[in-house]
Amino acid sequence: MLPSGLAQYTYQVYCPAMIKRVDLTPSARKDLRKVPVAIVTKFRAWVDDVEHNGLEEAQKRPGYHDEPLRGKRAGQRSVRLNRAWRAIYEIKADGTIELVEVQEVNKHDY
């Protein structure tokens, strides 16, 4: 039973579709062939986490430091694979994640 006066309102709960698929662009596949094995292992762990638990849960894990990007990369997000390597991805309209690239971040590039 709703409190008096609230019975007239309709409540809607928004539950976004759980994103559980990661696609790699050809350039991202090429990038992954060039990175150290430890980075590929961490990337695979992130993909497994997304595919098993969904992106929303994976984003909550502090070890990935999942964050939105700004500037010319607005609309993209990054995941830290370690202190020097990032995976850059986009969330597509169909609810999939497209890995754009894996790059080494150098403090001199800032």
pLDDT tens-digit series, residues 36-70: 999 999 999 999 999 999 999 999 999 999 999 99
Give dist(CA 75, CA 72) in Å, integer: 9
- How, if at all, do strands 67-68 and 76-80 pair? antiparallel
What class has domain 22-109? alpha beta
**Would you say the C-alpha torsion 95, 50, 21, 39 has a positive or negative sign?**
positive
pLDDT tens-digit series, residues 23-40: 999 999 999 999 999 999
Give residue limits of the domains in the chain.
Answer: 22-109
> What's the residue count for the chain?
110
Average pLDDT score over the chain: 83
